[in-house]
Amino acid sequence: MIYASRSLYSLLASVLIIGIIGYSLQFTKVNADPLAESLQDTYMVAVDGNRKASEQVLKAVESLLQQYPDDPLLTAYYGSALAIKARDTWIPWYRTDFTQQGIDSLNKALSQLSERSYSTPYYGLNEGFYIQSLAAMTFINMPDYFHQSSRGYALLKDIMSSENFQYYPFAPRAWIHFGAVQAALALNNTADASKWAKEMFQLAPTHPMTVEALRITQHIAH
């Protein structure tokens, strides 16, 4: 079961650190519940298993969604945060409920994607790719009985094969490449993992994520 693994969730934290910064700059202008630390820092703590931090993140994002209910990026963050909460709960039926709510929020975010989403710059990429990637990595980490892993992996493959995605510099999309390699290994798709690691090497051989991708795929027979 991929759900128990912290590795992809740790990657997901790095995704949100980049993304939530954009909203953290607006916190003084909106009525979001205040956090002792920045939202991105609190999310990192939540990813590491701190339940209090998880609740704080959910509360802050819920406050923002009350003011921006149709924002697909916030909706995607909310779905991911619910999935983290589901991971951390000990009560089975709560885990199921939170996971399903996370799926629903991520589905809503994906359904809100438009041409504008793919033309709106967002931290070196565009909002469309960013939301798709966030959803994909969250789906991959869900319990097997929700049958979302294959769907998440398909989303990642679509992104990786997109010509438009290739136009962006490697640095802002490195986490997606690395996440794809990790997901491929977790799902025993070693051919994809090896292929994507090699692509990373061709694009940026000394990038830290490239080095790590090569390390975790070095056991694959070529």
Q: What is the pLDDT of residues 159-175, one digit of tens each?
A: 999 999 999 999 989 98
pLDDT beyond 60 at 3: no
pLDDT beyond 60 at 29: no
- 101 Cβ partners below 8 Å, 6+ apart? 79, 82
SS3 content of the chain, % helix, strand, coil (to 5): 75, 0, 25
Report the distance separating Cα 217 and Cα 24, nearest Å: 36
Is the separation of the CB atoms in 55 and 36 below 8 Å?
no
Burial of 63 (0-12, 13-18, 19+ CB in 10 A): middle
Q: In 183-222, which positions are buried (b, 16+ CB within 10 angstroms) versus exposed (e)? A: bbbbbebeebbbbbbbbbeebbeebebbeebbeebeeeee
The chain-wide mean pLDDT, for the chain, equals: 82
pLDDT beyond 90 at 31: no
Residue 91 pLDDT level (bands cut at 50, 70, 90):
confident
Output phi, psi for 126, to 5 deg: -135, 165
pLDDT value for 39: 59
User: 183: part of which helix (H) or strand (E)?
Assistant: helix 170-186
Q: What is the pLDDT of residues 44-75, one digit of tens each?
A: 677 677 888 888 888 888 998 999 999 998 89
Which residue in 46, 35, 137, 134 sits closest to 87, CA to CA?
Answer: 46
DSSP 35: -
Output phi, psi for 125, to 5 deg: -120, -140
Predicted model pTM = 0.79
The dihedral built from the CA positions of residue 161, 164, 170 and 173, taken in this order, carries a sign that is: negative
The number of helix segments (H) and strand segments (E) in the chain equals 11, 2
Domain boundaries, the chain: 2-161
